[in-house]
Chain A
Amino acid sequence: MQPSVENTYRVVRFMFLSSIVWLLIGMTFGLILALKYVWPEFLAFGPLQKYLQYGRIRPIHTNLVLLGWLTMAYLGAMFYIIPALTKTPLQYPRLAMIGGILWNVFLIVGAVVLMNGMTDVIEYAEFPYFLDIVAVILMGVIATICFATIVRRREKKLYVSLWYFMGSLLWLPLLWIVGNLPPSWIPGVPRFNMAWFYGHNVIGLWFTTVGVGIIYYLLPKLANNPLYSHRLSLIGFWTIAAFYVWNGPHHIQNGPVPAWLMKSGVIPSVLMIIPVWTVVANFFGTMKGKWHVAATNIPLRFLLTGVIFYLITCLQGPFQSLMGPSSVIKFTNWVIGHAHLPLFGAFSFVCFAAIYTILPKITGRPLNSTALMNAHFWLSVGGFLLFASSMWTAGLIQGFAWMSGKQYGPAFVEVLVALRPYTMARALGGALMVIGQFLFAYNVIRSLAPARQATHPTASTA
């Protein structure tokens, strides 16, 4: 496979299709977890009792949606956007395809291994050590492909999306190494702190920064307006690079760490207001005079909603990292609601917008169904708002109940029983979200099916 537009699109299509398969599987696991929370006997029979046990499949849900859905959707988007912005076809397309296939194999092996109870405990990276090494190698391969394309660019000016992509492609393998590869003999709180360096920064320096890069690419295109401020986007890049990396220790707030470490995690968390505001200000500036477009342009509506959820994330996050609020809501369902805000609400929405925008470009024909796209939007937004608001309420109830002394035994269970209406609402919201994603997958597959036949003769000669 030589670098060509045709081969670039083949790789993009493969990444998007893989990501959607992982989205369906990962979110179905999430729904099973939500149902088990309400009915602990759900699917608890025969071998399923053991292999679909809550503690074993919760990491499968998080790893598949993070490393399967979001990461592969990001790779698809970057493999399209980088060639588009550099006016250069993707370099080493065969290697990119092999990397994508191996990443799928990595996820399948990881899910099976977790189901069998082999976990290295580090949250969002529970895959065992040998898979951690495989992941670093594949991340290195992907970064090499992207950098090779950027180095050989025909368009000399580096658009800001490329800044965000380059930063993220360097940070991901490095933060993975810090979190996953220290030898197992490093014990205790320092190791826990390293794990949270990874856990927080994989969100901040991969899921956030690639997502922001995609926003900056899609926004001027979808709104059909030039980007409001290039300078603001660069301020955003350097502030996120400077502050995000310090956020890890706020996960040990009120914990057994020295005060200086807590503060060094909390102060940069509050400063995160700056980079998020650069994105929001740029968004509002670019949308000026074009708001009516969001009424009819569904990808733009996904992007707009994603940016608003990103803003809420970065207002909620610093608040939670403070000592007082943390002492009430830490360890409760509030945090589950918060964690879904950037990952589903903000950046999955950005990916939906990206896939809906890029697919017609690579197939050369419009999407199969606008009605399905609209249904996908409303099920995702409605389901998520129900999910998140029930989790935030449940978290406050838990936090204050624990403060009133209901911390273990029958009193603790009393709180669990009181939470049932909220956990049921969570499961219902989750079900709506999952239904929306099945409509999304169906729509994408129908949009690709005729295009595949049309491009087949050219693809085989390439």
Chain B
Amino acid sequence: MASSKAEKSIAPIVLGSLALFLLGVIGTVTLPFYDSSMQKPNANAELRHYAPNTPEARGRALYIREGCHVCHTQFVRPVKADSNLGPVSAAGDYFYDAPPLLGTVRTGADLMWVGKRWNKEWLIRNLKNPREMLPGSNMPRYDYLTDQELSDLAAYLMSLRPAPQAEGR
């Protein structure tokens, strides 16, 4: 194999690299778009389908601006570690979620169904001073947000709840 003709030409490397890459893209990126289970909204998705400039839509933009998704997932799995968090997430739940906020780390608790857990007043007080509501919490204080912004953010969080039909799924 040493110093064969093939090793003096860049064409096999370039073409081989591109072909293998393309195969992976088709398999893991393109094909999921043809899987029907990922392409249908459900009742939960409709609850999370906000009209522009509603408090919930503004709250979602704030959730992204402040990087809430960096520390909080919205992602309930059928595993024991998620057993108290509410209904298991389905692809349909996220149908209108753009950009999707499933998250990758739980520095804080999962927020998929947080609207079922607390009320708006509690959420706003927790955002302003997390250590008042949950001593020992390491969440930043969001007391630099205006009252309007806090109210929008809390409205968004309160909308994160299962649709009545989906409960106990």
Q: Enumerate chain A interface residues (CB-CB to B < 8 A).
A: 36-38, 40-41, 44, 49-50, 53-56, 58-59, 117-123, 147, 150-151, 156-158, 163, 166-167, 170-171, 174-175, 178, 184-195, 197, 205, 230-231, 234, 238, 241-242, 244-246, 248-249, 251-252, 254-258, 260-261, 264-265, 327-328, 330-332, 335-336, 398-399, 402-403, 405, 407-410, 412-414, 416-417
Contact = CB atoms under 8 A, between A and B. Distances in A.
Chain B interface main SS type: loop
Contact of A328 (B81, B91, B134, B138): B81
B23 to A, nearest CB: 7
Nearest to A329: B81
Contact of B29 (A147, A194, A230, A231): A194
Given A55-B66, A399-B81, 8 more contacts: A44-B141, A53-B67, A157-B8, A158-B7, A187-B95, A245-B23, A246-B27, A412-B108
Interface stretch (B33-41, B51-59, B152-160, B161-169): B33-41
Interface residues of B, number: 81
Nearest to B78: A254
10 contacts: A40-B139, A54-B67, A55-B70, A158-B13, A166-B13, A171-B21, A186-B98, A260-B35, A403-B80, A409-B134
Given A178-B25, A407-B84, A255 B32 contact: no
Contacts of B98: 184-188, 191
A187 B67 contact: no
B97 A188 contact: yes
A261 B77 contact: no
B13 A163 contact: yes
A36 B78 contact: no
Given A184-B98, A241-B21, A50 B144 contact: yes
Contact of A407 (B14, B16, B85, B100): B85
Interface in B8-23: 8-10, 13-14, 16-18, 20-21, 23
A49 B141 contact: yes
B77 A327 contact: yes
B64 interface: yes
B13 to A, nearest CB: 5
B50 interface: no
A238 B109 CA distance: 41
Contact of B138 (A38, A123, A163, A193): A38
Q: Do most interface residues of chain A lie in helix, strand or loop, or is the interface mixed?
A: helix
Interface in B130-144: 130-131, 134-141, 144
B28 A193 contact: yes
A81 to B, nearest CB: 16
Contacts of B8: 156-158
Given A158-B13, A170-B14, A264-B27, A258 B140 contact: no
B100 A56 contact: no
Given A123-B104, A197-B25, A416-B137, A184 B99 contact: yes
A55 B140 contact: yes
Given A156-B8, A167-B13, A55 B71 contact: yes
Contacts of A246: 24, 27-28
Contacts of A264: 27-28
Nearest to A406: B84
Nearest to B102: A192
Nearest to B98: A187
Contacts of A234: 1
B91 A254 contact: no
Contacts of B39: 190
Given A178-B25, A245-B24, A170 B96 contact: no
B91 to A, nearest CB: 4
B145 to A, nearest CB: 9
A121 B117 CA distance: 25
Contacts of B71: 54-55
Nearest to B63: A55
B147 interface: no
A230 B2 contact: yes
B151 interface: no
